[in-house]
């Protein structure tokens, strides 16, 4: 997830995290006075674009690593410390707002199941804590964590994919991954009648990772595309964002790399990229706490602004005190 100082992909990652935050804020808080944001709060699209960027950064990171072990070590210390911190601190501090007393909370098997499952990226096995957020619109502790197991699976397979790219070819591998992923999704949707929850898992999301691989291979050509193409994409997004989903996806991909690679690089991109991961990890439980305490209500955006400031402060703290000290920058 390290990005070059010559691009703005950090800004893109932060924008995608912000889109997910807006979607969750409106849904969890049942907020209606910011309804004008709802058409833009397409969290699932933002998550898929995150998967695409994972493909882009994974190839770059693997190429710079001195072997598979070094790559895995960098990935582990970039992802897991902040993840562990958010899961553990949620498990610990949410005991204070549970309807159970502390003794009952910490003696409950559900409490320890939550901690164990989530520390192993298995949020789907234990998404709730006993007595916590029972009266919220949704009771989940952190509905954003489901994506992390997919990210980890991507990273585990990167050496295999890189080996295949080297011996079979870059384009056959990328196209093959896209075909496998889309065929899997088609079979689930048309032959087995739905099962959308499985389409959201691997290999159903593998084509987005492959798009990132292709973008990495085409990065020089992307940079040479006339800036007016990206400006036209931005106009199209403003006009068509609520119409045809496939077109929206194409426009969004164009804007990701238009903003990331074509705009003059800005120093703030590094900061935004650095805190985007912790922002993504922490925003859901912060919103849920605000809802549980009655702090997030329809008040013309004041609770939105306050919640955003709190999340930004926590994100910066997690990056500086948890993530950065444990990063492996060169190996």
CB 255 within 8 A of CB 60: no
The pLDDT of residue 191? 65
C-alpha angle 233-238-239 in degrees, rounded to nearest 5: 95
The pLDDT of residue 77? 94
Question: Which residue stretches of the chain are H helix?
Answer: 9-29, 43-64, 68-93, 102-107, 109-119, 146-167, 170-186, 196-199, 206-217, 219-224, 227-240, 245-257, 268-292, 302-318, 324-326
pLDDT tens, per residue, the chain with 331 residues:
344 447 889 999 999 999 999 999 999 999 999 988 988 888 988 999 999 999 999 888 898 888 899 999 999 999 999 999 999 999 999 999 999 999 999 999 999 999 999 999 999 999 999 999 999 999 999 999 999 999 999 999 999 999 999 999 999 999 999 999 988 888 877 666 655 666 777 777 889 999 999 999 998 888 888 777 877 877 777 776 655 566 777 888 888 888 888 877 788 888 999 999 999 999 999 999 999 999 999 998 999 999 999 999 999 999 999 999 998 766 5
Q: Give the whole-angstrom CA distance, residue 264 versus residue 267.
A: 10
Per-domain residue ranges of the chain: 9-326
């Amino acid at each position: 997830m390290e990005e070059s100082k010559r691009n703005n992909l950090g800004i893109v990652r932060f924008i995608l995290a912000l889109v997910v935050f807006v979607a969750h804020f409106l849904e969890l808080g049942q907020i209606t006075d910011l309804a004008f944001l709802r058409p833009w709060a397409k969290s699932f699209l933002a998550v898929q674009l995150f998967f695409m960027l994972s493909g882009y950064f994974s190839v770059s990171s693997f190429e710079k690593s001195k072997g598979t072990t070094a790559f895995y070590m960098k990935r582990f210390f970039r992802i897991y410390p902040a993840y562990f911190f958010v899961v553990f601190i949620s498990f610990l501090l949410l005991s204070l707002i549970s309807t159970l007393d502390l003794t009952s909370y910490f003696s409950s098997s559900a409490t320890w199941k939550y901690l164990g499952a989530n520390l192993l990226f298995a949020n789907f096995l234990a998404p709730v804590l006993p007595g916590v957020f029972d009266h919220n619109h949704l009771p989940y502790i952190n509905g954003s964590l489901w994506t992390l197991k997919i990210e980890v699976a991507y990273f585990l397979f990167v050496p295999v994919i890189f080996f295949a790219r080297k011996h079979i070819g870059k384009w056959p591998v990328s196209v093959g991954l896209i075909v496998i992923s889309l065929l899997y999704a088609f079979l689930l949707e048309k032959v087995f009648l739905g099962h959308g929850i499985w389409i959201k898992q691997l290999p159903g999301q593998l084509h987005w990772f492959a798009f990132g691989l292709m973008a990495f291979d085409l990065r020089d050509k992307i940079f040479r595309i006339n800036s007016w193409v990206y400006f036209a994409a931005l106009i199209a997004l403003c006009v068509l964002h609520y119409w045809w989903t496939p077109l929206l996806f194409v426009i969004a991909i164009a804007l990701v790399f238009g903003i990331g690679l074509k705009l003059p690089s800005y120093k703030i991109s590094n900061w935004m990229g650095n805190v985007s991961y912790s922002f993504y990890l922490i925003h859901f439980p912060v919103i849920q706490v605000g809802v549980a305490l009655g702090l997030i209500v329809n008040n013309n955006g004041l609770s939105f602004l306050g919640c955003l400031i709190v999340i930004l402060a926590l994100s910066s703290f997690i990056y500086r005190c948890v993530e950065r000290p444990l990063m492996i920058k060169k190996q």
